[in-house]
Structure 1
């Protein structure tokens, strides 16, 4: 039997030992190389695009020779106004991608020796950066669609006379959400958080190309897509797969990873931020066959080419 990829040496191309042995200087050079990849790490002014600059080595900053603006390797990026050292940020990204089912903010804070708030915001900034990879993604070929509900569990009362029928709408929580996922076979996974699974009909119409082939379960709301896409349906009350590709197993595999992330790592996920965890699980599922070093540098490069977060910048200082 062939060895699983995650057990092979090819999956381990980056380690915390290697990062800290390289030190702050090597980590800083890695940030420069990925921020300005087109110029092999030579600084480019983010305001005017000029290549000519003056070094300010004592502050690890640069001054543009044209517009005289001062900037650093993290100016205008997801890591703007950072306080952690470059080697710690690189180690944080390594830890983040190593968790195949995610990593809780408590564990993240302990491993990095930072406050819980720091770890929480940093993790969500990284999730925002990785989600940017599929913002404009359109799915083609064979695409599976399904939905899964998360959150909103209503505990039964202690005394039997106080218990209510939790199946009724008036006794259900308003925090329950459904994650609608579209997964292209041998392609990307797109996830969306909605109130109802039927909202996935409009999502599919917007994010699938006209010639795509749809695979869905027996839910009646997917009937509306059969006029637009060639569709194959599988009745899960009868079987989960009928052979010859008639299944939704790949999108179910994504939901399996997301459920293990929510239940096993985070234990509780707010409905307000469920979309972040859904995007994280989709990214991990899509890149499960890429080495941890490849994932780490891809995420770092994406974060350095992502603008300052408008959601997580100053998260703890804002008034709710």
Structure 2
């Protein structure tokens, strides 16, 4: 039987279709996503009035009620954009088509834009995608696991000068732990902590009390037994033990590791949370066709407010 991702059902949009639709249709697509409740008719973001004059020469609107001038991207994460709507839509399609993510350098070459523009744009998309994970609650069977990223220490050239990098005294202190909580055949939720055991308070906030938790033998998860039906699997003995396993959590980390090694090469530091949430979104929607994925990201970007972190086209000092 053919895998879904190899079938024609997984391909419902292409770059060829985006560039052939033209700027007017691309612009109308953003209008339809922004004002879905009014079938693409403009709604003033300041007063909510549904009557506006269209300033066609500038693709702007003027509210009849408060006389405020606005565009389809005003107040969204794409506010103050300079790229054409065709290029924005193409960027979204390229972004969702990358199973392991898309490097900003590759996107800048595909769209013939500066690397800075592509870098900030992809992070804006990650920020918009992550909004659906806010206040998410997990139930049923929830698998939990952690993995460490960053803080790599290069070994010395000569063997006699090398130190045991497993010891805390020989580490940089920059290592961070990504913890994933994932419902079996459901949604997932990642977060960043210093050590795996620091994740227990997050579990209390986001996992229902009647859920069954699956975890490995790490001592940091011992505290979970006090609040949930917790089942453990010792990976030094087996990967599956009486139905207990963390295979779907490991699947998430496989994707995140491949994003780091094969695409981005460096995801640690201040941005690791955004990459972790992107990998979570890709795992949750891995069986969704790319056209629907592009529509989901576009709609999320139209609903997301102006970014405080990624405002403008480069981060300022």
Matches within 5 A, 1:23-38: 23-38=22-37
What is the aligned counterpart of 2:260 among 236, 259, 262? 262
1:250 corresponds to 2:248: yes
CA shift for structure 1 position 136: 1.2
Correspondence for 1:212: 211
Correspondence for 1:60: 59
Correspondence for 1:109: 108
SS of residue in 1 equivalent to 2:226: coil
Correspondence for 1:286: 284
User: Which piece of structure 1 moves more, 95-104 or 266-275?
Assistant: 266-275
TM-score, normalisation: structure 1: 0.97
Correspondence for 2:82: 83
Asked whether the 8 Å contact 2:80–2:312 carries over to 1, the reply is no
Correspondence for 1:166: 165
Deviations 1:103-135 (A, max 9, x none): 111111111111110000000000000000110
Deviations 1:239-279 (A, max 9, x none): 00135x32110011000000000111011123110111101
CA shift for structure 1 position 211: 1.1
Correspondence for 1:298: 296
Correspondence for 1:314: 312
Structure 1 269/317 Cα, relative in aligned 2: closer, same or farther at 3 Å? closer
Deviations 1:169-196 (A, max 9, x none): 1210221111010001121110111110
Correspondence for 1:119: 118
Correspondence for 1:47: 46
Structure 1 CA distance for aligned equivalents of residues 217 and 315 of structure 2: 47
Gaps of 5+ in 1: none
Asked whether the 8 Å contact 2:233–2:245 carries over to 1, the reply is yes
Structure 1 CA distance for aligned equivalents of residues 315 and 136 of structure 2: 34
Correspondence for 1:177: 176
1:134 corresponds to 2:133: yes
Correspondence for 1:99: 98
SS of residue in 2 equivalent to 1:226: helix
Correspondence for 1:196: 195
Gaps of 5+ in 2: none
TM-score, normalisation: structure 2: 0.98
Asked whether the 8 Å contact 2:60–2:72 carries over to 1, the reply is yes
Structure 1 231/197 Cα, relative in aligned 2: closer, same or farther at 3 Å? same
- Give the 4+ runs in structure 1 shifted more than 3 A: none
CA shift for structure 1 position 317: 5.2
